[in-house]
Amino acid sequence: ATSSEIGGKLSATAGGILNTVGNIGGLIAPTLTPFVKDHLPSAWSDLLRWKVSISLSCVICLFGAILWIFVHIRTENQAIQAK
């Protein structure tokens, strides 16, 4: 729904861009998570390093979800009234 509201007449293009950018995280995460784990202090247990690495991924996802709070879509009437 967001892509159709933001994109207007180009809603299919907006939807494609949103999906592509959103899927970049799905492409990077399986490589980045073990990379982060391997670069944490080796004095930590393997389980702890995995927990920290996955927790970092969760924080990044939560940050992305919070950013959606700031997406405000104005209707055409609201845009006209704002002018």
Q: Which of 21, 20, 23, 4 is nearest to 12 (CA)?
A: 4
Contact 12, 4 (CB under 8 A): no
Residue 74 reports pLDDT greater than 90: no
Per cent of the chain over pLDDT 90 is: 47
How much is the pLDDT for 3? 76
How much is the pLDDT for 32? 93
Residue 79 reports pLDDT greater than 80: no
Q: Which tokens is 71 given?
A: 């997406």
How much is the pLDDT for 49? 97
